[in-house]
Each structure stands twice: as structure tokens, then as C-alpha cells.
Amino acid sequence: MSTSPRGKRTYHHGDLRPALLRAAAQVLEEQGPAGVLLREVARRAGVSHNAPYRHFASREALLAAAAAQGFEEFSARMQAAGPGAMAETYIAFALEHPQLFRLMFGGTLKLSSDADLSRASRGAYEGLVAAFRSRGDVPDPQTAAAAAWSLVHGLSELLLNGHFVEASAGEGAIGFARRVLGAVRFAAAAPPRPTHSSE
């Protein structure tokens, strides 16, 4: 298991931190956040049960690092998608990595605890806000961004947890998501003013 640069077994793994993160990501998707046991991750990385403590202060720190890594991949994909495809990219990410998504947004980790995690999370959000602001056709970009983020996030989570299994019966999750997203328009901030609306 401990595949270093060469196949030779060395006392020191040589590349353990990334290996642990890979193993953790694997266990995470298989078993969910609660199944990510420090010892199991160490087992898969081919090291002793205490080796992870050289790279992570605790089980929670390992989970936080995995979540931070998830946020980075998430941010990258969102940025690459561009403003028009962000919603579907968001939902696709959630459906592809359901457990990682739960870990990232489940609220189990406090964002304030881990600096990397906090930064990664904020980066993802600001990327979305910037995209909405650059569109220019929305009166209150910040509010609209918050609404869009909420809508897409809620839709992702409810889909993930099976709350729309029958509602999305014939068309599949993505098709259902498109339909739901299409039913929403963003307007100006003030409630009683029905001005123009954009996609």
C-alpha cells in the first residue's frame, strides 16, 4: 500500500499527508463523515494507527483538511464553469461527491477553527458574488447572489437527502433541478416593487 516514489518499503512513508487525505476522501465517500476513523485512514495509507498525528492534530483536523481540499476543488470548478453554468456545476458537484458535500456544508466543523477551511469556504462564496456582480443586470447583486446561493444550495441538499425522489421521478435529478431553477426570477430588493426580472 505504501507506494512511495519507488515501490520499495521505507520506514518513512515520504508522502504521507497527501496519501492520508486521499485515503480520507475515499473513506468519506464510502462511509460518510462519521465513518472517517483515524485508524481506518491510517490502515488504508499503510501506516500505523498513530502516524496521522504527525500531520493532523486530531481526527477533526483531518476532516477539516479534507473539507478545505473539497472547497478548493469546488471553487476551481465553479470558476471554470463561468456565470452561466454555475448553478448546474454546483448541483453536479453535490451529486458527485455527496458525502464530501455534507462534510463541507454540514456544519459539523466550525469554520472559525481551521484557517484554511475558513479561507477556502469564503473564497468559494466570494467567487459566486463576484460572478453575479459582473453580470450587471441585477439591481442588488449581493442580495441576488445570496438568494441564488441559497436556492441552489437548498436544492442540492434536498436532492441529496432524497426529499425530491418522487417529485423528480421521471426526469432525473439534473432535469428536475433545471425545471426548478427555471421557475425562479430575481428582482430588486424591495418586496412590493415588481420591476423587470432577468434570468
Binding site for DNA (CB under 7 A): 10-16, 37-40, 42, 47-51, 53-55, 58-60
- Give the three-state DSSP class for 198: strand
Convert residues 54-93 into a mask of x (bound to its own copies by CB under 8 A) and - (unbound).
----------------------------------------
Segment interacting with its own copies, rule: CB under 8 A, options 22-30, 38-46, 49-57, 137-145: 137-145
Question: What angle separates helix 38-45 from helix 59-81, to the nearest 10 degrees?
Answer: 70
For residue 14, the 8-state DSSP code is S
* Partner whose footprint covers residue 143, from its own copies, DNA, none (CB < 5 to 8 Å by kind): its own copies
Task: Round to whole Å and give the CA distance between 146 and 132.
Answer: 10
Q: How far is the CB of 10 from its own copies (least distance, A)?
A: 36
- By CB under 8 A, is residue 34 in contact with its own copies? yes
- By CB under 8 A, is residue 32 in contact with its own copies? yes
Long-range Cβ contact pairs of 110-117 (< 8 A, separation 24 or more): 113/60, 113/64, 114/61, 114/64, 114/65, 114/68, 116/64, 116/65, 116/68, 117/64, 117/65, 117/67, 117/68, 117/71
- By CB under 8 A, is residue 136 in contact with its own copies? no
Contact residue for its own copies among 5, 7, 136, 182 (CB under 8 A): 182
Task: Round to whole Å and give the CA distance between 176 and 186.
Answer: 19
Q: How far is the CB of 112 from DNA (least distance, A)?
A: 18
